[in-house]
Structure 1
């Protein structure tokens, strides 16, 4: 039986994509081989990678002046790659701190002899808020302004794209990319791990404006050097071939189901339904200020934490998995990315109502 998987990542994948991949697993494209066994230099796989990039560009309406790179190392590697590619020692960079992932990015940037300015720090609210527009300043000399649109651990999301002025905006879109329409032209650089909305773990997508290429420090490893990877069409080393193949299938699935506008409407409806169930209850609560609530990661707590284990056991028995909150936060967390259907959210809401009825 397929369960409803509320994992924050690696996350649930679309069933049609999994079924297509399963049907091709031992004989991909009539090759008599699995796509897992095909050389990344072979013309059919090169065509597969080009199709994945072309479809992703089409979905996001990526301007021609941007390069799309397929890298490895997850978003964590990009915490280092961004300063190594965009700065020299002594430069100023700016960050908005809204949770554990932006905190990690800031810590990594400080390893590169930079003046790291934290323009906004939401730690005083225990990371349950995002900064109001206009409440912080970005140094005009900053090489970039970095932010994390959605913090998966705390369930905090920016309701707006920050205005960085003439400073390039860098975004860690790991948990929001492909979840709704996006104006890529607002950014100098976007990076995102694939394991939320784009495919399995192992692939990181970087979308970088071409005028930001050619600036990497000499210490930058080749596989993290955007200019070198762009020149090699992301194949300076062996790419994560299966993840690239699945990214293409996921991108086509999104197109076939209405594109990013329709996806955004579905995701907003799922989040609204779950938050309404939480807010109408005296048994469950969500700590995040309403304007900063995430569409994709919904944390909630029970009135009596002693019931957490029983709640999780009952959810598992009902086919609702991976609802335990992050170890640093506690409680519950429902991650409702693109592949989670409304039926899964409804099943969770129904279970929550029944649990409250019998334990409230």
Structure 2
């Protein structure tokens, strides 16, 4: 099995083999143009067609209506952390509410506080970021500008369930690490955003799905490139966009639609992968600790540690000898992390779980 197929990194993550092959060809010369994708003009008809296809594929996969604009931006979610309060924490509303459930939502909360007055609706610090709240039970102001949360905490391995009902205030979600991993109802959200390098392709592009009525709140006078209306008006082509990253994203949306068979099929695959890993870890009993409480375990990121911390690094090395890479835990909590993004195959998960069982028997 190739190393790419055994990449369990939290990001950049694995890419589907068929997408890698098409990308390899495109770097040399796109079949449609004879020019390398790395040299294609962002003003070309070819790229306009790629942008249009990427948008249409996302609408088809998720059932996104024309009530929403879809944009492809740069700067990752870190830029969105500042842009969102700049654009949407409008006068006439109570301060926005933020859920701080882990490392990345903590970054979003801190960045928002630099931009505007805001409230923390819930903070999981006291639990060591092992649990999540029920969004519909949070005590938030009914006049809040919006409620922001991170749907999947990549570092701690926590994942919210799909939000079934829209809250009384606009709901904004950073879905960077579980976007397109399963279906959900876009109409319960006012904005969804997700950077690549997880399920969408290489780093460089961030998808932002925004309810058009929310755009009416944006104050005049923002720097042009930090105004969401700029990207909507210019069709994600205001300044030179990340052509290569958007091209690969388009290939991945094709793969999801026409090879995987849509998000319901992708969800079933991801459920099987996650179940296999967690069942293996649970079978190791007190020898291994999973970071997240069972109810909130993520299907995308499995954070765990051996009871004997010396075995964490030892297993990383043993796994690497079998071609398994990317198992290092995030620097903030250490330990290990296996990320099970869409392109990680069930066969790769079997390789990982077999390695875990073999290693544990050797060090029992």
Q: How does the TM-score come out when normalised to structure 1?
A: 0.96
Structure 2 gaps of 5+ residues are none
Correspondence 1:245 to 2:247: yes
Aligned to 1:189: 191
**Which of residues 310, 321, 339 is equivalent to 2:314?**
310
Would you say the 8 A contact 1:138–1:164 is kept in 2?
Answer: no
Using the alignment, how far apart are the partners of 1:113 and 1:59 within structure 2? 35
What does residue range 1-360 of structure 1 map to in structure 2 within 5 Å?
Answer: 2-3=2-3, 4-88=6-90, 91-114=94-117, 116-161=118-163, 165-218=167-220, 220-256=222-258, 257-282=260-285, 283-360=287-364
Q: How does the TM-score come out when normalised to structure 2?
A: 0.95
Cα offset, 1:219, TM superposition: 5.1
**Alignment partner of 1:338: what SS?**
coil
Q: Which moved more, 1:25-34 or 1:250-259?
A: 25-34
Cα offset, 1:330, TM superposition: 1.2
Structure 1 gaps of 5+ residues are none
Cα offset, 1:53, TM superposition: 1.2
Structure 1 residues 122-173: Cα deviation after superposition (integer angstroms, max 9, x where no partner): 1111000001355421211101000001000000111242855321000000
Using the alignment, how far apart are the partners of 2:320 and 2:339 within structure 1? 15
Would you say the 8 A contact 2:163–2:184 is kept in 1?
Answer: no
Cα distance, 1:163–1:93 mapped onto 2, change above 3 Å? farther
Aligned residues: 359
**Alignment partner of 2:47: what SS?**
helix
Using the alignment, how far apart are the partners of 2:43 and 2:280 within structure 1? 51
Using the alignment, how far apart are the partners of 2:120 and 2:164 within structure 1? 14
Cα offset, 1:109, TM superposition: 1.0
Would you say the 8 A contact 2:85–2:116 is kept in 1?
Answer: no
Cα offset, 1:91, TM superposition: 4.3
Would you say the 8 A contact 1:133–1:162 is kept in 2?
Answer: no
Using the alignment, how far apart are the partners of 2:143 and 2:134 within structure 1? 22
